[in-house]
Structure 1
Amino acid sequence: MHLDEPAAVYEAMLAGWGRQQKSRLLADGTVEPRLALVRRFAEFTGSRPWEWTAADVEDFTASLMSGKGRLAASTIRGYHVTLRLFCDYLLDGRYGWVGQCDRRFGAVPSQVCHDFNTAAHLVEYEGRPARRPFTYDEVQVLFDFLDDRVDVVARSGRKGALAAMRDAQMVKTAYAFGLRRRELCFLDLADLRPNPRMPAWGTYGAVHVRYGKSSRGSAPRRRTVLAVPEFDWVVQGLAQWVEQVRPLLDPGARQELWLTERRVRIAVKSMDRRFAFLRAAAGLPAELTLHCLRHSYVTHLVEFGYPERFVTEQVGHSYASTTAIYTSVSDDFKTKTLQSALRRVYGQAPDDVREGR
């Protein structure tokens, strides 16, 4: 007999649910936050899982939506999903928690999350509206600033010229291949591949992504991203970095493509901070993150006329609908597309369309 039987049973429930999730090959980064959320909910209610009610969920949700720390709808929905999963585990007859609670406490767990007290997933994209792709002009401003910064640092004689060149090439590579932050930072020399149809590009005609976004319980998805002719300038930049600049860091046998001055792989969080600094120094809006360059890549490929399936495979999406969320074509592109359709159907575009009225 435990001195605190309710606490012992509660801890056993959490431990069992943790083991169940890890048996599904879910990472600690997924399991631990879920367990922490259940503990947070139990602390909020001041009760044990066999005492929870649907009203507790509603009160908890109201607390998450109030005050200055109001959470995003997607975050609250994620909390609801976690609580629902935990209750499903408790109610699963294969684990025996219903019988245990009935015998020990005279009460049983219930599913406290239902369709009428949890957030529904109504739209595909719930990110902040301010997030958007870079325009062509903004991409040019950023790249011009990066190039000028390399020249300024190099002429000053200060340390940091190699880092400035690395940062510039990393940002350009992220855009030219539509890479996520982690995909970019975890590239190795061996991931630079030739494109058989463009032998003139050497080993810089494609990048093999080994650390793509993974589904829960699965390994990272791999893909090969081909360089496209509109972004062929990245080939020369990569060649310069690999063959001329990177060797100055004395990398030895290290295979990481992007090294710091201490000859270690640049970290994802470090790249986030560096990009924020570079974007601010270039005078660009704060809502433009490194990931926005990936959105720009998708948008610009669409405007260049690449087929939807090609774009989807380039960026590693499972569904074309996901790629569509990333796409935000310019008004000029839409006007030209409409003009083309009018010429195809009527033989000539009306003046009001040509003049943008």
Structure 2
Amino acid sequence: MSRAFRPRVGHSAVFEAMVTGWSRQQRSRQLGERTVTSRERLIRRFQGFCESYPWEWTPGDVEDFTVSLTSGQGRLALSTIRGYHLTLRMFCDYVTDSRYEWPTQCHDRFGQVPSQVCNEWNTVAHLNDYEGRRQRRPLTYRELESLFDWLDDRVDRIARSGRKGALAGLRDATMLKTTYAFGLRRNELARLDVADLRPNPHMRGWGSYGSVHVRYGKAATGSLPRRRTVLAVPEFDWAVDGLKPWVEEALPLYEASGHPALWLTERRTRVKVRQIDDLFATVRTKIGLDEHLSLHCLRHSYVTHLIEHGYPERFVTEQVGHTCASTTAIYTSVSNDFKNKTVQAALARVYQADEKER
């Protein structure tokens, strides 16, 4: 039977076939089931919002959809909206690709063809290049000192009282110090094993605690988690001093020699991300920090302070596992003291040179 005489199926059936085909393509790329399912759900949500089908969608539909997401009390974060835009863009790339014949099928059946409705003028990437949020701002040196002092004091208080919990308190203090000293994300921290502690070839004296091998770094879309090795730096060598007694003296007290995790609970299970979040929230409240600050601010602090210590941007980018230096730049927010010292040094350099020339 020729194409001209084939029975015409309904609009909804073609749409379902498109979504099914796109899902199959993603699974062929070995994407996770949850990722595929959430993307399917968004495409159906967008279709329901537009009350039309992909071959009828226009850039205006994307703009109306975005406005609906950024209005009212349920306003979504910019990073979430960017993810939505990316999903819509990928779906449109699929249905407009001639290799899948959807343009031909839609033209023959409906007299219209799908088009790419996401462009540089109606997506978040163009509207806002910087997403700095106050809950992720870097902490000042004084705030960090207060945070770590409170954690250390808690261990001493528990130990003096004779109550249980001193070991867990030491674990908590070491965890948050490690988060800052190596610029780790929450999941990267929670998934660390003892075997991930490695030597630093530039500093043999640190033994097996001179670097951290991250096996569960943030994955790019459609790829496996990225791995990297974070070297300890001399400005944060106190973290090495904390990890060594934790691993060699405290961790064996859990009597869980068969468990690979670096951070264990009293039940000899791996500490979960939610527990780390709750820990930071508790300390934040105790020392009077802004309630909007999150654990991720320690990672921002790490980037900012490395820059202030004079480390090259490329080195910092490699340390934190960013693909682009522009991402690292978003994290960077040097302190006023650093800015003042930099300006003073520049003034001295320029005007001293002028005086010598005279």
TM-score of the superposition, structure 2-length normalised?
Answer: 0.88
- Segment of structure 1 superposing worse, 267-276 or 232-241: 267-276
Counterpart-to-counterpart distance in 2, 1:308 and 1:56: 40
Q: Is 1:83 aligned to residue 88 of structure 2?
A: yes
Whether contact under 8 Å (1:147, 1:168) holds in the other structure is yes
Question: Could you say what the CA RMSD is over the residues aligned between the two structures, in angstroms?
Answer: 2.7
| 3-state SS, counterpart of residue 210 of structure 1 | strand
Whether contact under 8 Å (2:135, 2:297) holds in the other structure is no
- How big is each residue's C-alpha offset from its partner over 1:159-192, in whole Å with a ceiling of 9 and x where there is no partner? 3222211111000011111111121111111111
Q: Which residue number in structure 2 is paired with residue 353 of structure 1? A: none
Q: Which runs of 5+ in 2 are unaligned?
A: 1-5
What is the deviation of 1:293? 0.9
Q: Which residue number in structure 1 is paired with residue 322 of structure 2? A: 317
Whether contact under 8 Å (1:133, 1:288) holds in the other structure is no
Counterpart-to-counterpart distance in 1, 2:159 and 2:113: 70
Q: Is 1:158 aligned to residue 172 of structure 2?
A: no
| 3-state SS, counterpart of residue 75 of structure 1 | helix
What is the deviation of 1:346? 2.3
Q: Is 1:216 aligned to residue 221 of structure 2?
A: yes
Whether contact under 8 Å (2:47, 2:53) holds in the other structure is yes
Counterpart-to-counterpart distance in 2, 1:283 and 1:63: 36
Q: Is 1:259 aligned to residue 264 of structure 2?
A: yes
- How big is each residue's C-alpha offset from its partner over 1:63-85, in whole Å with a ceiling of 9 and x where there is no partner? 22322112234433432332232
Counterpart-to-counterpart distance in 2, 1:63 and 1:244: 55
| 3-state SS, counterpart of residue 41 of structure 1 | helix
What is the deviation of 1:134? 0.6
Counterpart-to-counterpart distance in 1, 2:159 and 2:144: 23
Q: Mark the CA change 1:60 to 1:263 in structure 2 (over 3 Å): closer, same or farther.
A: same
Match of 1:131 among 115, 131, 136: 136
Whether contact under 8 Å (2:211, 2:231) holds in the other structure is yes
Whether contact under 8 Å (2:132, 2:331) holds in the other structure is no
Whichever residue aligns with residue 30 of structure 2, its letter is: L
Q: Which residue number in structure 2 is paired with residue 332 of structure 1? A: 337
Q: Which residue number in structure 2 is paired with residue 140 of structure 1? A: 145
| 3-state SS, counterpart of residue 207 of structure 1 | strand
Whichever residue aligns with residue 294 of structure 1, its letter is: R
Q: Which residue number in structure 1 is paired with residue 189 of structure 2? A: 184
Match of 1:57 among 53, 57, 62: 62
Q: Mark the CA change 1:36 to 1:177 in structure 2 (over 3 Å): closer, same or farther.
A: same
Counterpart-to-counterpart distance in 2, 1:178 and 1:55: 41
Aligned residues with identical type, % of pairs: 65
Counterpart-to-counterpart distance in 2, 1:258 and 1:240: 13
Q: Which residue number in structure 2 is paired with residue 270 of structure 1? A: 275
Whichever residue aligns with residue 200 of structure 1, its letter is: G
Q: Is 1:301 aligned to residue 306 of structure 2?
A: yes
Counterpart-to-counterpart distance in 2, 1:323 and 1:62: 29
Match of 2:201 among 171, 196, 203: 196
| 3-state SS, counterpart of residue 86 of structure 2 | helix
Q: Which residue number in structure 2 is paired with residue 98 of structure 1? A: 103
Q: Mark the CA change 1:313 to 1:111 in structure 2 (over 3 Å): closer, same or farther.
A: closer
What is the deviation of 1:138? 0.2
Residues matched between the structures, number: 350
| 3-state SS, counterpart of residue 260 of structure 1 | coil
Whether contact under 8 Å (1:339, 1:349) holds in the other structure is no
What is the deviation of 1:259? 1.0
Whichever residue aligns with residue 24 of structure 1, its letter is: R
Q: Which residue number in structure 2 is paired with residue 246 of structure 1? A: 251
What is the deviation of 1:116? 4.7
What is the deviation of 1:320? 2.7
What is the deviation of 1:48? 3.1
- How big is each residue's C-alpha offset from its partner over 1:113-142, in whole Å with a ceiling of 9 and x where there is no partner? 445544442544213245310100000000
Q: Which residue number in structure 2 is paired with residue 237 of structure 1? A: 242
| 3-state SS, counterpart of residue 209 of structure 1 | strand
Q: Is 1:37 aligned to residue 9 of structure 2?
A: no
Whether contact under 8 Å (1:342, 1:348) holds in the other structure is no
Q: Is 1:26 aligned to residue 31 of structure 2?
A: yes
- Segment of structure 1 superposing worse, 104-113 or 213-222: 104-113
Whichever residue aligns with residue 226 of structure 1, its letter is: L
Q: Mark the CA change 1:321 to 1:32 in structure 2 (over 3 Å): closer, same or farther.
A: same
Q: Mark the CA change 1:324 to 1:83 in structure 2 (over 3 Å): closer, same or farther.
A: closer
Q: Which residue number in structure 1 is paired with residue 346 of structure 2? A: 341
| 3-state SS, counterpart of residue 211 of structure 1 | strand
Counterpart-to-counterpart distance in 1, 2:305 and 2:118: 42
What is the deviation of 1:107? 4.5
Q: Mark the CA change 1:52 to 1:298 in structure 2 (over 3 Å): closer, same or farther.
A: closer
| 3-state SS, counterpart of residue 212 of structure 2 | strand
TM alignment of 1:3-22, pairs within 5 A = 5-22=10-27
Q: Is 1:284 aligned to residue 259 of structure 2?
A: no
Whether contact under 8 Å (1:312, 1:323) holds in the other structure is yes
What is the deviation of 1:304? 1.9
What is the deviation of 1:104? 4.2
Counterpart-to-counterpart distance in 2, 1:51 and 1:201: 63
Whether contact under 8 Å (1:87, 1:109) holds in the other structure is yes
